[in-house]
Structure 1
Amino acid sequence: MASPLTHLGDMPIEVFMRDYWQQKPLLIRNAFPNFESPISGEELAGMALEETIESRLVLENGESGPWELRNGPFTEEDFLSLPRTHWTLLVQAVDQWLSEVAELKEYFRFIPDWRLDDVMISYAADQGSVGPHYDHYDVFLLQAEGKRLWQQGAKVDETNPRLEGTPLNILKKFNAENSWVLEPGDMLYLPPQYSHWGIAEGGCTTISIGFRAPSASAILEDLAAEVAMGLKDSLRYTDAGMEPTKSPAEVDPESVARLQQQLAEWLRQPEKVTQWFGAVMTEAKYPDTVALDADEAADWREQMPKGMPLVLNPASRVAFSREPATLFVDGEALTAPLTFAQQFAESHEISWSDIETYPEIANFDGLIDQLVAQGTLIYPPEDF
């Protein structure tokens, strides 16, 4: 198993996290020396034929107009009818299907696992791109095959005009501040909202390691609903000690400040916030993919004593917290011994020796049964 990176090029990870992470772009030449792509463009196209895999095609000069977006699954005829240049195939969550791609995530464990979204891989024909745009998340763009010209522009937001007539968020105006040609093993880090535009120079493959960050509106909406369920109806807005009002029609600043203070007090439940946050950040990106394997390890009580371990489904997510001691798996907050929760969250595996150490997890209808029943725990896939 790969180890987390200690340096990005010559830069210590501590320096990167202090000076660059979520702050400014960084080009890392030869980040992965002698890098060989774990997948070819043809193999990526083969994945895009599958119904269970999310894939997209972007054509700069499509049949329906500029920057046409097509969603998979595709057919072989779809690929045979593509033009020779100016198109890109994108396949999401390739790490769920190929062990060589999943292993790349290990290098980035200097960032919490629950921040990682997925590993998306794109193949672009000559001059292919997805247009000038920006993302709301951090991303490492690792060049896998061929060459790609990356142009990086200013930090932008929703107020910057978009190109009309396409479902893609193409920026109407883009001015490059930096420009680099990346070759296999080179990597570009981009924080959220930095505009960028990658154009293939000949056919090329790019691996995108993206990180999830829920929006403020989603956090407030979901957390407020979670906390509200536990509040008594008798807990109300109060204003004891209020001065006599001089303007009875006014919503005065003092009342607003009082409400803000009370909201902060209602939300000040660290255990509840921890359990909500852990559950939200481990929700599976594709829950249906997890459910596909729900019956695979039903006979684990017979197989595990023979040396057959159970492993985390590649489509699943797991994390743990110390206070309160909780195991988070696929959006669920589960009670488990702290040392076991930490070990499983870090190793993604359960063996017979774990059961001997923590026999309670093997109770009927207990933790392992629950995780097997929902497809979170499976036998190691042949590819993994």
Structure 2
Amino acid sequence: MNTLLGNISAAEFLREYWQQRPLFIRQALPAFQSPVSPEELAGLAMEDTVEARLVVNEDEADPWQVWHGPFSEEAFLNLPIDNWTLLVQAVDHWLPEIAQLLNHFDFIPGWRLDDIMVSYARPGGGVGPHHDQYDVFLLQARGRRKWQVGQRCTTQTPLLAHNDLKILAEFHVSDEWVLEPGDMLYLPPGLAHNGIALDDCMTFSVGFRAPSAAEVITHFSDYVADNLSEDMRYADPALALSEHPGEITLSAVGRLKALLNELDDEQKLVEWFGRFMTESKYNITPELPTIKPTDCDELAGRLKQGYSLAIVPGARLAYSTLNKCWQVYADGQVLQASEQVSPILTLLERRQPIYQADVAEGDVDTLLLLTQLVALGTLAWKWNDAG
């Protein structure tokens, strides 16, 4: 067992801490050093397709100033010496060495993973006491940051008036820790917290998707509606004569329930959920190509030549076997599959590369799935130096 969760097992963490209480782990990744420098992070924040923010908190009259990227070199040159933070979203989409960190969190369903946000802060920098609606692991990658945690919060918890930041009006500190490189802090949803840079520091935030009930209902309703026939309508044959034509009767409500019950399709629900949870939040890649079978023989030939297939950084993958119907969900698309592809999915769900030895001779189902994932842009070719 690795040290990521300290001296407890993944099962114990999920049972005792996940979505319940914070956990501080000293040296979760011993001797960890950031794969990205502050200068490289600033370079990413200057790109048009990267979501980035600068938060400056040195002015007492206006303590929380926020700017959104992309930034120019002048923007960084004009910053104060201390008391500011640069936050860049989805850095794992851009840098494979950052994406590899996700492998440490394979004890949580992969489709729950969101992205890795990287922040760089000068002493005193932070974004103020706040709470999130999702689980997050805060890995210290450079310097020291003090983390304070406080009360449980909801959407009704009072906030300070601010257009960009959700800063708590009151923050009651109950615990605090100083994190050094390699240390990590897990925070469940709704827990108030505040991070303050003690010196030149970088923090990696590994966040997890948690769609709201409103998002689920709205998105699923749209998905179902797009696939319904115009012939499916409210109907009331053998309608009984009513003395009150304006009254909505109990029988009318019953017929409405019957119509809605016809939409209760478990297979359709899981298909929608797979697509929904694998959609990218960030439009940082070219438009995905149409799914179509490609030449399986060509793919097998390239594997024999010494190439391997790897999941593209930022790509999202999941699958389901409900009612023995194998479906693979990749970046918001659905692919039909069979039990034959199970060994490959076991590798892909842990973001492992695919080599020639992983594909059995004549395994048409697996070859077809791989070619479709390549066409979709979820998998990419990589030269295997050892091949």
- TM class, shorter-length: 0.7 to 0.9
Residue 307 (structure 2) aligns with:
308
Residue 28 (structure 1) aligns with:
25
Which one-letter code corresponds to 1:308 in the other structure?
A: Y
Distance of aligned partners of 1:86 and 1:6 in 2 relative to their CA distance in 1, 3 Å threshold: closer
Residue 220 (structure 1) aligns with:
217
1:200-248 Cα offsets, whole Å, 9 max, x none, are 00111111110011111010111123234455666666899xxx99999
Residue aligned with 2:63, SS? strand
Residue aligned with 1:379, SS? strand
Task: Answer whether contact 2:307 2:383 (CA < 8 A) is retained.
Answer: no
Displacement of 1:50 in angstroms is 2.4
Residue 340 (structure 1) aligns with:
341
Q: 2:180 aligns with which of 176, 180, 183?
A: 183
Which one-letter code corresponds to 2:100 in the other structure?
A: E
Residue 321 (structure 2) aligns with:
322
Query: 2 CA distance for matches of 1:129 and 1:64?
Result: 17
Query: 1 CA distance for matches of 2:252 and 2:180?
Result: 56
Query: 2 CA distance for matches of 1:200 and 1:248?
Result: 69
Distance of aligned partners of 1:55 and 1:266 in 2 relative to their CA distance in 1, 3 Å threshold: same
Q: 2:106 aligns with which of 84, 105, 109?
A: 109
Percent identity over the alignment is: 45
Aligned length: 373
Unaligned runs of 5+ in 1: none
The TM-score with structure 1 as length reference comes to: 0.84
Query: 2 CA distance for matches of 1:259 and 1:219?
Result: 25
Task: Answer whether contact 1:5 1:13 (CA < 8 A) is retained.
Answer: no
Residue 269 (structure 1) aligns with:
265
Query: 2 CA distance for matches of 1:235 and 1:122?
Result: 51
Aligned alpha-carbon RMSD (Å):
3.5
1:51-76 Cα offsets, whole Å, 9 max, x none, are 23222111114699331211122222
Task: Answer whether contact 2:152 2:192 (CA < 8 A) is retained.
Answer: yes
Displacement of 1:123 in angstroms is 0.7
Distance of aligned partners of 1:228 and 1:37 in 2 relative to their CA distance in 1, 3 Å threshold: same
Which one-letter code corresponds to 1:307 in the other structure?
A: G
Query: 1 CA distance for matches of 2:130 and 2:251?
Result: 43
Residue 331 (structure 1) aligns with:
332
Displacement of 1:143 in angstroms is 1.1
Residue 289 (structure 1) aligns with:
285
Which one-letter code corresponds to 2:307 in the other structure?
A: M
Unaligned runs of 5+ in 2: none
Distance of aligned partners of 1:76 and 1:347 in 2 relative to their CA distance in 1, 3 Å threshold: same
Q: 1:359 aligns with which of 357, 364, 381?
A: 364
Residue 131 (structure 2) aligns with:
134
Residue aligned with 1:120, SS? strand
Which one-letter code corresponds to 1:314 in the other structure?
A: P
Query: 2 CA distance for matches of 1:283 and 1:368?
Result: 19
The worse-fitting range, judged by mean Cα deviation, of 277-286 and 120-129 is 277-286
Task: Answer whether contact 1:55 1:71 (CA < 8 A) is retained.
Answer: yes
Distance of aligned partners of 1:180 and 1:261 in 2 relative to their CA distance in 1, 3 Å threshold: farther
Which one-letter code corresponds to 2:331 in the other structure?
A: D
Residue 382 (structure 2) aligns with:
380
1:256-296 Cα offsets, whole Å, 9 max, x none, are 995896587345321111111111111123244264899xx
Distance of aligned partners of 1:5 and 1:219 in 2 relative to their CA distance in 1, 3 Å threshold: farther
